[in-house]
Amino acid sequence: MVCKPIISNVGIKFATNAGASTGEILVANTLINQWEELTFDFSAVIGLPATTNVDQIIVFSDFAARNTDHICYFDNIKFQTQGPPLAEPLTAMPDPTFSAQNVISMFSNPYTNVAVDTWQTPWSQVTLTDMQINGNDTKL
């Protein structure tokens, strides 16, 4: 969702700590000074080397050369799959190897967890299920 005072491209890209990037996907808003939902299709870059170990999402709310600053808003970034649902994993994730004093754990079997008030917000639109995979607690 974007709300901007001008019509211009909004860009989104994914990046890694090592500096790799998917490159910007650009979509222009069509409304001025009102919220508008934009859709960005990243299906063409899925599986490329730049999509491995992604740890950043970068939003360019006004991807244009300009002489004036604009106040632009964005909110409610959602990720959706267009393909079939993924199969449930059959093996548990390996235990992490970080020293406990370097970890703040919210949900983990190997570490002591800090309290978490909720895993699902009131506005959330998904189902949350606790399950086990090979004895490892997992959130689905």
pLDDT tens sequence across 52-87: 788 888 898 888 777 888 889 988 888 876 666 667
Average pLDDT for 34-43: 89
- Reference 5, options 26, 36, 27; nearest CA is 36
pLDDT band at residue 11 using 50, 70 and 90 as cut-offs: very high
Per the rule left: phi > 0, alpha: psi between -120 and 50, beta: everything else, 76 is left
pLDDT of residue 47: 75
Instruction: List the beta strands (DSSP E) in the chain.
Output: 2-3, 9-15, 25-28, 56-60, 73-74, 130-133, 136-139
Domain boundaries, the chain: 1-80, 89-140
